[in-house]
């Protein structure tokens, strides 16, 4: 299978390493290699229909700050239409105003009959139905495990392993930064601002941390889950949203006196779609600390199913993308097969 990587930041580099290191797995299970035939970042383009060397791409990015030797074309649409590849890995940064370049890349690839796997929340939190219908019409896969909760496999778990269950609701923690801040405020008695600065220094927060603390990031992820698991047709703006900006040290301490913690909880069901700070009893699964993400699914046969995992990070997000690459190899014909 030939892949094209759109975006060569942390996630693009992570998935390149994983593709380099998992060739034996691809050959063992599917009898074929996964080759990177194209990659671009904001500054440059690398293209080779016979396969690019992952180490060369990573080395160039590391030393020169760009993935390719060539200038990236102004006409990305044409590039994504005319190049031969089976799967677009869309890993450019999220834009939640209109989906941005990520939306255009995904739309173009699906329209051109290519599979897509993405970590990009923007296009899915805004135009989920349009993009999934486009994929269906073109009989290709659009997969997005990496867009919610990094290495916490909640989407594929719900849609595939729990396919036979009626899932009544999902409650969870979908933003590591907020969880880290609330955890540090309680354990270390840090102020909100101090804990936020720590989260920024450790690289957990978004470039604009208001996306985290005002619950926008959680709302995007919740909207994707609502669409993907609960068959709803919502955007992140439909999520009733309260962030953690207003949580004082006194509130955290008062909750602790009553053996409770405050957590930013997302909840979705057929009727509900809400992100808000909630009191959670200490010791309850949703009281987890640190930057972990968690999702609790309430199902009709299996009861409560809880999944916990690291919500962000280079290898964590790459792990989710890898699961989608494997699912496409397993379920779908690659474009080359279809053309035979
Ligand atoms: N800033 C996000 C978080 C990163 O803290 O969870 C992952 O989307």
Fold for domain 2-149+315-339? Rossmann fold (3.40.50)
**CATH number for the segment(s) 158-311:** 3.30.360.10
Q: Please tell me the pTM assigned to this model.
A: 0.95
The predicted pLDDT at position 281 comes to 98
C-alpha to C-alpha distance for 220 and 316, rounded to whole angstroms:
19
The predicted pLDDT at position 340 comes to 39
Distance 25 CA to ligand 1 centre (A): 29
Residue 309 CB burial class (10 angstroms; 0-12, 13-18, ≥19): middle
- Of 316, 116, 80, the C-alpha closest to 204 is 316
- Using alpha carbons, list the distances in angstroms from residue 120 to 60, 90, 147, 301: 24, 7, 6, 32
Give span(s): CATH 3.30.360.10, the chain: 158-311
- Using alpha carbons, list the distances in angstroms from residue 196 to 45, 101, 200, 204: 36, 29, 6, 10
The predicted pLDDT at position 194 comes to 96
Query: Is-contact 264 218, C-beta < 8 A?
Result: yes
> Annotated active-site positions, please?
221
| Residue 165 DSSP symbol | S
The predicted pLDDT at position 335 comes to 53
Distance 293 CA to ligand 1 centre (A): 9
Give span(s): CATH 3.40.50.720, the chain: 2-149+315-339
The predicted pLDDT at position 203 comes to 85
Does residue 217 line the site of ligand 1, with CB under 6 A? Answer: yes
User: In order along the chain (340 residues), what is the average pLDDT of each group of 10 residues?
Assistant: 97 97 97 97 96 98 97 93 97 93 98 97 97 97 95 94 97 96 97 95 90 97 97 96 96 97 97 97 96 97 96 92 97 57
Distance 295 CA to ligand 1 centre (A): 15
The predicted pLDDT at position 46 comes to 98
Return the ligand 1 atom nearest residue 206 CA: 1
Does residue 287 line the site of ligand 1, with CB under 6 A? Answer: no
C-alpha to C-alpha distance for 297 and 294, rounded to whole angstroms:
10
Does residue 312 line the site of ligand 1, with CB under 6 A? Answer: yes
C-alpha to C-alpha distance for 215 and 207, rounded to whole angstroms:
14
Return the ligand 1 atom nearest residue 179 CA: 5
């Amino acid at each position: 299978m030939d892949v094209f990587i759109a975006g060569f930041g942390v996630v693009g580099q992570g998935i390149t390493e994983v593709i380099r290191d998992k060739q034996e797995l691809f050959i063992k299970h599917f009898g074929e290699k996964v080759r990177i035939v194209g990659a671009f970042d904001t500054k440059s383009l690398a293209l080779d229909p016979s396969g690019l060397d992952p180490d060369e791409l990573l080395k160039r990015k590391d030393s020169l700050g760009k993935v390719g030797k060539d200038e990236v074309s102004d006409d990305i649409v044409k590039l994504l239409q005319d190049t031969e590849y089976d799967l677009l890995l869309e890993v450019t940064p999220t834009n939640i105003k209109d989906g941005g370049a990520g939306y255009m890349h995904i739309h173009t690839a699906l329209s051109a009959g290519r599979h897509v796997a993405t970590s990009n929340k923007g296009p899915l939190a805004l135009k989920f139905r349009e993009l999934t219908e486009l994929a269906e019409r073109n009989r290709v896969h659009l997969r997005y495990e990496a867009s919610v909760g990094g290495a916490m496999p909640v989407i594929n778990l719900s849609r595939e392993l729990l396919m036979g269950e009626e899932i009544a609701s999902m409650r969870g923690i979908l933003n590591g930064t907020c969880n880290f801040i609330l955890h540090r405020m309680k354990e270390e008695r840090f102020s909100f601002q101090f804990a936020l600065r720590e989260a920024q220094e450790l690289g957990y927060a978004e470039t604009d941390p208001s996306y985290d603390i005002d619950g926008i990031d959680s709302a995007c992820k919740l909207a994707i889950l609502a669409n993907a698991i609960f068959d709803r047709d919502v955007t992140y703006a439909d999520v009733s949203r309260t962030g953690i900006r207003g949580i004082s040290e006194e509130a955290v301490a008062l909750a602790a006196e009553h053996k409770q913690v405050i957590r930013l909880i997302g909840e979705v069901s057929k009727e509900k779609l809400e992100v808000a700070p909630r009191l959670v009893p200490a010791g309850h699964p949703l009281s987890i600390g640190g930057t972990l993400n968690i999702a609790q699914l309430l199902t009709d046969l299996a009861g409560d199913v809880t999944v916990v995992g690291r919500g962000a990070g280079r290898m964590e997000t790459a792990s989710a993308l890898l699961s989608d690459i494997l699912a496409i190899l397993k379920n779908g014909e690659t474009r080359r097969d279809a053309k035979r």
